[in-house]
Chains A and B, each alone.
Chain A
Amino acid sequence: MQEGRVLSTREVNRDLLRSILDTPRWFWPVVTVLGLILLIAAIAVGIMVNRGLGVTGLNRPVAWGFFITNFVFWIGISHAGVMLSAILRLAKAEWRRPATRAAEVLTLFSLMTAMVMPIVHTGRPWRILYWVFPYDFARGIWPNIRTPLVWDPSAILTYLTSSTLFVAIALIPDFAVLRDHTTGIAHRVYSVLAMGWEGNARQWKLQIVAGVLLSALILPVFVSVHSIVSWDFGMAVAVKSWHSTVFAPYFVVGAVHSGVSAVAFALILLRWCYGWQDYIRHEHIDALGRLLIVVATGWFYFLVMEILFGMYGREADELMVRQTQFTYWPYNFWFILFVITTYFIPVALWLSRAWRRNLWIMSIACISVNVGMWLERFLIIVPGLINKQLFTFVWADYRPSIFEYIIIGSTFALVTMLMLLFSRVFPLVPLYDVKEGDVLKTQVQIGRRTVPATFRED
């Protein structure tokens, strides 16, 4: 699978540095609109902090709502970076090259956004400090430092640090290109960031070994993060529907499903915004579509098992949660919509090669997956909490308020804005990786056919 023409180094530099060296006309207006959305969200958070969580739809027993749903959703999106970058790098999949950086950067920004959610959710964000740092017993507050909730920040911070370093190391050669193509303050900044990189054989060898070694090290962290997010639920004694034994792999595969879909959509947007048709080609989106069929089907298996195991135990509390999901309005509607948008619509579209290569249809499929995956997290969290208590008279429904809608909506603006700002100063497609792909590209004669091939070094 090798489409597109071989590009000269000069063309690669010109095209992929376009987002940095020339500001497109649409850039600042779009950033301004996104900034305004964030400003509105900041006002909403301000009001919420001032008046308390009463302005949200959270109640007793539904103490986790949109914010925690959104937290899990963004953690899920963050799994795309490592999935594409590390697994495909280790598997030596050639088509990964233009997609890796955008995927890794999406990981960083979605993780950062995810981390904001529990802080907003506390309603009194400054009190996080009491929880994070050990404090005096004299306050009369005894933190449960053995709580599984401590695992979450440790895993997410490890993943965020690792992903940041993963991106930073791979950026060094590209900083050198930017250093050589800029003047003035930008030149000085990129010179510092390039750390004197000159591209000798030793530096390249270390760069390649680093890619493989860091990929191998970061993969276990990647698996651990969403497993641990699933244990946020699994370790909660009171909520009966959160104890499924398949929760960890179910969450990890679901995260990959939503994350890779998000990356595919982001790549389509980048191609459109920056005119990168020669780099983000139909073959790449096609390959992502094929990968997603496998991931989606794996995820669907875990979904069915999760429901089946839950029902098979015939525990009254668990059955009540399932009854809420399947029969009570509006959860039954959300459930049907969730299954259709996460699996049946996108997979039906991905089964056709022509549709996988149609960027509009791929965009619809990828957005559909993420609508569904957001609903999945909502349907895990809220129906479980509604029926959390033993007595029906303490059951309560959850109706999110306008504040929650605004804050949740703004997280999409935040990630988009961060990605755009990143693309303004750093290349979102790795230059050296693309150039390496062109160097290794060749053609071989087999019988009467000339077929594309790639030289590989083990």
Chain B
Amino acid sequence: MARRPILGLFDDANAAADAGDGLRRAGIPETDVDFLTDTPYPEGAFGEREEPHRLYIFPFIGALLGLTSGILLTSMTQVAYPIVTGGKPILSIPPMAVVCYEGTMLGAILFTVLGIIFESRLPKLKAGLYDTRITEGYVGVLVNTEEAQHNTVEGVFGQTGAVDVKRE
């Protein structure tokens, strides 16, 4: 049977957390439930699952690529202009240090930002079930489950005080 989303809207965070508990008791797997809010609540405030991520790898990869680019850019430019200035070597390390450092940091930051977007699963090209009241302070409990279970979900939403229930 097809899986379809169903969204319950709550005007109170505690009621949304109760809905989460009710859904668990009704046998809806944690992975099928998402809590949509307009502000970051403390992790686990709705009893939601922990969200593992690999964001910390991204800055290291970026830093490595940035450092490599910095070394290549500065050394190749010096070699490309082989004029002896003041008896100094053509390939001189000290003038490379700052540019390499900046390259490393730039690479780390660029990759962190890419990592944030990637790990946040953005951009989301196809809009899912959503309600604009979420950015008015309502908490949305989004359940992506088989259609047969929608009545159970709706029942839990009703018991826990949902102000509205939306289906796709």
Contacts and interface: CB of A to CB of B under 8 A. Distances in A.
B55 A209 contact: yes
Contacts of B108: 217
Interface in A201-229: 201-210, 213-214, 217-218, 220-221, 224, 228
7 contacts: A9-B39, A10-B136, A145-B81, A162-B105, A198-B134, A202-B51, A220-B105
A243 interface: no
Given A13-B136, A206-B55, A217-B108, A172 B122 contact: yes
Contact of B48 (A146, A168, A196, A201): A201
Interface of B: 13, 34-43, 46, 48-49, 51, 53, 55-56, 59, 77-78, 80-81, 83, 85, 88, 92, 95, 98-99, 101-103, 105-106, 108-110, 112-113, 116-117, 119-128, 130, 132, 134-137, 142
A432 B36 CA distance: 13
Q: Closest 7 interchain pairs by CB?
A: A196-B124, A9-B137, A195-B123, A435-B39, A180-B132, A204-B40, A151-B98
B56 to A, nearest CB: 8
Contact of A158 (B35, B40, B102, B137): B102
Interface string A393-421: 00000000000000000000000000000
B137 A169 contact: no
A151 B130 CA distance: 48
A206 B78 contact: no
A218 B109 contact: yes
Given A199-B134, A440-B42, A145 B124 contact: no
Contacts of A151: 95, 98-99, 102
Contacts of A207: 40, 116, 120
B109 A201 contact: no
Given A204-B37, A214-B113, A195 B122 contact: yes
Contact of B39 (A157, A165, A436): A436
A392 to B, nearest CB: 28
Given A143-B81, A146-B92, A151-B99, A198 B113 contact: no
A457 interface: yes
A201 B53 contact: no
Contacts of A172: 122
A148 interface: yes
Interface of A: 8-10, 13, 134, 142-148, 150-151, 154-155, 157-158, 161-162, 165, 168-169, 172-173, 176-177, 180-181, 195-210, 213-214, 217-218, 220-221, 224, 228, 431-432, 435-436, 438-440, 455, 457
Contact of A155 (B83, B102, B130): B102
Contacts of B36: 198-200
Contacts of A9: 38-39, 135-137
B95 A195 contact: no
B77 A145 contact: yes
B135 A176 contact: yes
Given A146-B92, A196-B124, A201 B98 contact: no
Given A151-B98, A195-B123, A209-B55, A200 B35 contact: yes
Nearest to B83: A142
Given A144-B85, A206-B53, A201 B43 contact: yes
Residue in B13, B38, B59, B85 with the greatest tally of chain A CB atoms within 10 Å: B38
Nearest to B98: A151
Nearest to A456: B42
Contacts of B120: 202-203, 206-207
Contacts of A134: 77, 80-81
Given A142-B83, A204-B37, A162 B46 contact: no
Given A147-B95, A224-B101, 10 more contacts: A143-B81, A145-B95, A195-B122, A199-B37, A199-B134, A202-B53, A202-B121, A214-B109, A221-B109, A228-B98
A161 B110 contact: yes
